[in-house]
């Protein structure tokens, strides 16, 4: 009867053993995270545009409701604009640092 068992060290650089090991560099991590964030932001902006349009249509000419609906749509368009600017800035930074971030 053996009281002490043999213990073998695992290779944590293997992606099957350690799921974090598939990110070999920061650029491989950003190539996964940034597009997911931009996709979520796009869906959120689309939802806000649709909500603003619904509020605009159902406002019945009430100036307060019209103003709220217009502000919702304005902020949704501003969010889309900010996402486009951030995408361009990320591509410029990747070009300057010679890192392939978010390949098209």
Q: What is the pLDDT of residues 13-41, one digit of tens each?
A: 566 666 666 666 777 777 888 888 999 99
Q: Which tokens is 45 given?
A: 């902006």
- Domain residues of the chain, as ranges? 25-97
**Contact predicate 85/17, CB 8 Å:** no
Higher per-residue confidence, 62 vs 15: 62
What value does the mean pLDDT of the chain take? 83
Condensed to tens digits (0 to 9), the pLDDT of residues 49-58 reads: 999 999 999 9
101 C-beta neighbours (distance < 10 Å), count:
17
Mean pLDDT score, 54-63: 93
Structure tokens at 73: 């749509």
Q: What values do phi and psi take at 78, rounded to 5?
A: -65, -35
Record the pTM.
0.68
């Amino acid at each position: 009867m053996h009281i002490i068992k043999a213990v073998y060290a695992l290779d944590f650089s293997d992606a099957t053993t350690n799921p974090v090991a598939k990110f070999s560099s920061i650029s491989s991590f950003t190539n996964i995270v940034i597009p997911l964030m931009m996709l979520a932001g796009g869906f959120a902006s689309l939802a806000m545009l649709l909500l603003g349009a619904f509020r605009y249509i159902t406002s019945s000419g009430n100036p307060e409701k019209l103003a709220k609906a217009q502000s919702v749509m304005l902020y949704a368009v501003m969010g889309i604009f900010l996402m486009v600017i951030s995408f361009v800035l990320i591509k410029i930074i990747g070009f300057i640092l010679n890192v392939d971030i978010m390949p098209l």
